[in-house]
Structure 1
């Protein structure tokens, strides 16, 4: 009998051991982009990203990683990889209007707009490491010139290992996620899961808090997620073609 994952580490293990060839995350993006990640492929992306965080950026339990990214399959990979490392993830629904700004306190900032982020963090002491994340699936590197002190995630991540083993695990009471006014510890990340696997439709317009909680709950139950960019309509045709059950 397969045990339901209760920690992020156990969830990542489930991706590669429980029906690893079945879809776990499908993404519909702008310009008719569709990306489907099986459990094995999702785990591979998470492992490469976690190894990148550790090997290139010296991430470890307690490192503050801020995500200046839209809800996207890549931002979900970053979230799960950061948890694999034992880091604390910072995100916000309205990064440009949040007061006080949480990003200058981060050690690492992953962003889809490195020029704006460099300007935003120009006065931060010490300055966070800024990582440019290209969102299109077929974009193998950042296109265009990168600002100073900025690294290219998409161009560098593929060189890293396909399997990740953490050097140290976070304590259950360590902070896993800070989103706006909500704080979640590692023992709260997977609070409950559905009773049976579902194919769940989630829309990015619902916001980080709703999408992340629903996705983690679905994955813990052995299900899969279809995530839609705000530009993509949740039509009956899409629901039918993706075999949505919830």
Structure 2
């Protein structure tokens, strides 16, 4: 069954697939640019990792214990493509993706933990990981570039539960959760607004055939940056 998240990834990889769709500015002069094709590739690999390594399937919940970051966006898109529910905060979930995979990471009854290294060029987690915690950076690149779900997602299942308790189902994710934006914008999205807002802004921008410039709170948004990225919104 096709759901909006799957349709969105199809559109991003087929329409102007080499154009920037997600650009990240992080600390230590990080700049990561993902075209529609590359963004889809990351999402496909991540969906395959979740499905093949962590037995993820429609209806399961993925808790993102992560800041607003390009990898957080990838993980959310991958979960939605699978038909999973994305939750944040301390909400209950079967799977956990975290940048702090300490000994207590699995507390709360999660079935599996994914350690996410946030530095842009990290090829693996620096240091040791608790037994059973999977290293996202080390594992994701080995997975397939094309995603085929083992179980078809369902449009009526929850896709995201907001901090205020609102639940948006997969079939209405782009209609109800995504923010409204003019067509074709190159939108500046401050990571300081939080992950939930960033996801809504990004979905709305891509729905309207635009692109996102996601900026870490420590990065100053100068006139030079705006001009270089041709920002037309915010």
TM range (shorter): over 0.9
User: Could you tell me whether the CA contact under 8 Å between 1:6 and 1:220 is conserved in 2?
Assistant: no
In the alignment, structure 2 segments of 5+ residues that lack a partner are none
For 1:142 and 1:135, locate their aligned partners in 2 and report how far apart those are by CA, in whole Å: 9
Is 230-239 or 106-115 further displaced after alignment? 230-239
Match of 1:187 among 171, 174, 186: 171
Query: Using a 3 Å threshold, how does the CA distance of structure 1 residues 189 and 236 change in structure 2: closer, same or farther?
Result: same
Q: Give the TM-score taking structure 2 as reference length.
A: 0.92
TM-score, length-scaled by structure 1: 0.88
1:197 to 167, 181, 184: 184
Counterparts of 1:121 and 1:194, CA distance in 2: 38
Report runs of 4+ in structure 1 exceeding 6 Å deviation. Answer: none
- Deviation of 1:6 after TM superposition, in Å, equals 7.6
Match among 5, 8, 11 for residue 5 of structure 2: 8
Q: Give the 5 Å matches for 1:93-104.
A: 101-102=90-91
C-alpha separation in 1, matches of 2:33 and 2:46: 18
In the TM superposition, residue 195 of structure 1 has moved relative to its aligned partner by 4.4
Match of 1:231 in 2: 218
Unaligned runs of 5+ in 1: 93-100
Q: Deviations over 1:66-92 (max 9, x none)?
A: 001111000000000000111111113
Name the counterpart of 1:98.
none
3-state DSSP of counterpart to 2:141? helix
Shift of 1:120: 5.0
How far is the alpha carbon of 1:129 from its aligned partner? Answer: 0.7
CA drift of 1:107 comes to 1.0
The answer to whether the 8 Å contact 1:6/1:190 transfers is no
Q: The residue matched to 1:202 in structure 2 has which SS? A: strand
